A = this chain, B = another copy of it.
């Protein structure tokens, strides 16, 4: 990796960290892009080359999680029931989180606090999840050999899976360590699995 790419990655993370800290200090709304860029000695114009919008800062982790889910899903045996496969994908996201560096964990925890304090951002985050959902639904429909446009069950399977992820992520209201959060999330996954009829995702 050349100097150029390393520098870019450094700037991206510097912007991200500066932004997260500013959001926690003075709130999301009252932090301007100008401030964020200023804290990293970069022009506002450049900020928008790293993050397409202010919201994007808060959504970057979705991109990462989505990537993991899609990869996992493709590596599962094709005859596995779709919801089971999705639950494996969820667990893959969890174990990625558990294996993250201290910096990454810190970012994640800060992000959770910011989201808790800004309902509007939770919305944005959910909205991003909806896009992921759509891609996953197409994949699941493919697995089931169904038309992604009309097969309601494919969509329902994915929707339930993403709901599970979201509940696990949002539910532990009080601040906790990363381990506590991931533990909580795997409880949610088990709860969801126990709640559904065996084989519901096959017919």
Contact = CB atoms under 8 A, between A and B. Distances in A.
Contacts of A196: 195-197, 200
Contact of A195 (B127, B149, B166, B200): B200
A172 B191 contact: no
Say which size band chain A's interface belongs to. 35 or more
Interface in A83-138: 119-120, 122-124, 126-131, 134
Contacts of A174: 149
Interface centre among A119, A134, A163 (most CB of B within 10 A): A163
A129 B162 CA distance: 14
State the copy count for this chain.
2
Nearest to A162: B163
Nearest to A165: B159
Given A123-B128, A131-B123, A196-B197, A159 B167 contact: yes
A167 B173 contact: no
Contacts of A129: 126
Interface centre among A127, A166, A174 (most CB of B within 10 A): A127
A160 interface: yes
B127 A191 contact: no
